[in-house]
A and B are shown apart, each in its own frame.
Chain A
Amino acid sequence: MLTKLIGYEMKAFGRIILPLYAATIGMAIIMGVGIRVLDEDLYSNLLGAVIIMIFVSLIIATMVMTGVLCVQRFYRNLLGNEGYLMFSLPVGTHQLILAKVLSSLIWTLLGGVAGVCTVVVMGLMAIPLQDTVRLFKEISMHLRMLSLGKELGAIAVWFVIFILFFVASLMQIYTAIAVGHQWSAHRILGSVLAFFGIGIVRNTLGGLVGQIGYRIGWADFLMARFEGKLFLAWQFQLVLIVSTLILIAVYSGVTWYFLDRRLNLE
């Protein structure tokens, strides 16, 4: 059932996001060709500026729309009129929440992939083929010279931490919406206030834990041992992972509680 829910979410996102991806890549092609063929005269400069403006606007629109959909799909699809359908499905509340989180994560990662594709497409259009091949060879040579061996592992862990941060941030918004929905009126206002309230509680507790870490000398230990290379310390990464997982668990529990045990659809 979870797979079906995610498939349905992917379609709901895709019908809005995919045309934006297509338009952005289309503009990247036009920009790439423009870089190659446009002259330095006034007319060409004006045309180039317009193309760049449309291209940047499309990138911003895609990013904003992805963010908006991540939140809107939760609010409207679960707590609006469509909630009467979704909460009538023979699936658990945890599956409804998980489907929203996973589909949002997938579309955010796809956004990154689409961004890379855009740059590559633009490069392919702007630079002659033989120069492109030479450029890729140079980039791969530089990467080899950097000998990232050990750092690559740390970078991969940072990618996992980024995903966990994203999920935690999204779950904070979902929790705020679920809490705000307990109000009998002004539910959006309730959600906004809940969001800031949750942030204050989280920061206070985080500060408290940081103070304890400082007092027991953990911060000094890390600083001394990794001298400016803190981002490579697995102990530091582990603390971030564990603390973010705890946050996700708390947010998930609270969201589930309000959507399952305290649900009151309008």
Chain B
Amino acid sequence: MAVLECMHLTKRYGNLAALDNIDLSLEPGRIVGLVGPNGSGKTTLIKLAQHLLTPTGGEVLIDGMKPGPETKAVVSYLPDRDFLPSWMNVESLLYFYEDFYKDFDMDKAVQMLQALNIEPRRPFKSLSKGTKEKVQLIMTMSRSAKVYLLDEPIAGVDPAARDYILRTIIGNYSENALVLISTHLIADVEPVLDEVVFLKQGHIELHENTDALRERTGMSVDNYFREVYRC
């Protein structure tokens, strides 16, 4: 049974369709890449699934439910921006997550912070951009969620940090969970993907198993992406 399902999902901003009549079904236990150039609708799709945007038409279901408090209890979401309150320190952020999410694993989060030598008493605003992104990722991946929605988790960080982030995702997601990673840096995430969804101007251009895609086209996903989106 699909854990994330979009049916005729449409989102318009005025006359511009950010997503146009999307049908998509994603199964649990898979790591799926949501790829496409800027403005193709990746963030819009994720925000609709998290009920941060209201669809113009159609609907999205998470674990069979419309987005709401029940789905947010099983979805772990990493936005594409700094979203944690800057006045809190790392330790109080940990307690915040523990307070609100039953599936938050405090020990796991503390271990990951220790491994990175991040001082829990440090105010979030005093951290560097890369460290902030790591803390946000640690918070997100320390939950035992059914769905992980990761919006551009490796954009804007150095290659070493990218490796750490990908290792953290692979090492910490629940086995039966769906991980949806939106990115335009395909080469970096390709090795971890089971499936890929290509978005182009609000439409699904392709949804395929990555092994099948490589076999069919004789190209890596990254190279095929460059073919499809050639300017």
Contacts and interface: CB of A to CB of B under 8 A. Distances in A.
B101 interface: yes
A109 B206 CA distance: 58
Interface stretch (A86-94, A113-121, A172-180, A211-219): A86-94
Contact of B72 (A8, A15, A88, A263): A88
Contacts of A262: 54
Contacts of A91: 69, 100
Interface string B76-100: 0101011111010000100010011
Contacts of A82: 83-85
Residue with the highest number of chain B CB atoms closer than 10 Å, among A11, A15, A84, A87: A84
Interface in A127-177: none
A263 B54 contact: yes
Chain A residues touching B, majority SS: loop
A265 interface: yes
A228 B79 CA distance: 61
Contacts of B185: none
Residue with the highest number of chain B CB atoms closer than 10 Å, among A85, A262, A265: A85
Q: How large is the interface on B (under 10, 10 to 19, 20 to 34, 35 or more residues)?
A: 20 to 34
A71 to B, nearest CB: 17
Contacts of A87: 50-52
Given A85-B84, A90-B72, A264 B54 contact: yes
A85 B85 CA distance: 9
B171 interface: no
A90 B83 contact: no
B159 to A, nearest CB: 26
Residue with the highest number of chain B CB atoms closer than 10 Å, among A12, A89, A90, A184: A90
Contacts of B83: 81-82, 84-85
Contact of A12 (B70, B73, B87): B87
Contacts of A186: none
Interface string B183-209: 000000000000000000000000000
A4 interface: yes
A102 to B, nearest CB: 17
Contact of B100 (A15, A90, A92): A90
Interface in A53-87: 77, 81-85, 87
A84 B14 CA distance: 23
Contacts of A88: 50, 52, 72, 75, 77
Contacts of A85: 83-85
A261 interface: yes
A163 B53 CA distance: 34
Interface of B: 13-14, 47, 50-54, 68-70, 72-73, 75, 77, 79, 81-85, 87, 92, 96, 99-101
Interface of A: 1, 4, 8, 11-12, 15, 77, 81-85, 87-92, 184, 261-265
19 contacts: A1-B100, A4-B100, A8-B96, A8-B99, A77-B85, A82-B83, A83-B52, A84-B77, A84-B83, A87-B50, A89-B69, A90-B73, A90-B100, A90-B101, A92-B68, A92-B69, A184-B13, A263-B51, A263-B54
Given A84-B81, A88-B50, 6 more contacts: A85-B83, A85-B85, A88-B75, A89-B69, A264-B54, A265-B53
